[in-house]
């Protein structure tokens, strides 16, 4: 208990007051003892999430680059999607090497339902080697008929 109290920056006196006090204190009130006040909460309830939309490209984009290096090296010059005869989503992506040298990346696809939630259908990362200034098509097919959206992700090899 001492470690968690120290982590909060409370002194021993405040901890004793909190532990032996009259029980719960309403949110936003403070306990004063020995010249120190301990604020027990925030008036108005819970906090709003911070930067909720700042790094959420995987929720809104169909093609994302997962690190700075791939941002400089590759781009997607086109996406094509269609449904197969058995209602599975098929996606073709043209991945282009922006460099004047050979580039190796890993690529996968996360299939999502109409509301943008993953359907549990995520392809494993596969290695893609692109020659100098080359472009190559990569094909992904969902394993079930729940997929309506997708996100293709590209990263450096691991």
Residue carrying structure tokens 């004063």: 32
In the predicted structure, residue 140 carries a pLDDT above the cut 80: yes
Q: Say which residue, 61 or 9, is predicted with more confidence.
A: 61
Are 10 and 31 spatial neighbours (Cβ–Cβ below 8 Å)? no
Task: Give the domain ranges of the chain.
Answer: 2-39, 57-155
Q: What is the 3-state secondary structure (H, E, C) of the chain?
A: CHHHHHHHCCCHHHHHHHHHCCCCCCCCCEEEECCEEEECCCCCCCCCCCCCCCCCHHHHCCEEECCHHHHHHEEEEEEEEEECCCCCEEEEEEEEECCCCCEEEEEEEEEECCCCCEEEEECCCEEEEECCCCEEEEEEECCCCCCCEEEEEEECCC
Determine the average pLDDT of the residues in 49-70. 79
Q: What is the pTM of this model?
A: 0.67
What's residue 110's pLDDT? 96
57-155 folds as Immunoglobulin-like (2.60.40)
| pLDDT per residue as tens digits for the range 19-59 | 455 555 555 555 555 666 666 566 667 777 676 666 667 77
In the predicted structure, residue 135 carries a pLDDT above the cut 50: yes
Q: To the nearest whole number, what is the mean pLDDT of the chain?
A: 81
Q: How far apart are the first and last CA of the chain?
A: 42
CA distance 9 to 6: 5
**Token digits of residue 9:** 């920056």
**Token digits of residue 93:** 């992506």
């Amino acid at each position: 208990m001492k470690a968690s109290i120290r982590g909060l920056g409370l002194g021993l006196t405040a901890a004793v007051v909190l532990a032996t006090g009259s029980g719960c204190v309403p949110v936003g009130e403070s306990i004063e003892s020995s010249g120190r006040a301990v604020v027990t909460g925030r008036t108005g309830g819970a906090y709003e999430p911070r930067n909720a939309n700042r790094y959420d490209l995987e929720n809104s984009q169909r093609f994302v680059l997962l690190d700075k290096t791939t941002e400089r090296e590759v781009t997607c010059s086109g996406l094509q999607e269609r449904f197969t005869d058995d209602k599975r989503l098929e996606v073709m992506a043209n991945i282009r090497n922006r460099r004047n040298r050979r580039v190796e990346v890993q690529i996968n696809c996360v299939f999502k339902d109409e509301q943008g939630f993953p359907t549990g259908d995520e392809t494993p990362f596969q290695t893609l080697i692109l020659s100098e200034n080359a472009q190559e098509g990569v094909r992904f097919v969902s394993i079930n008929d729940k997929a309506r959206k997708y996100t293709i992700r590209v990263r450096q090899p691991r």
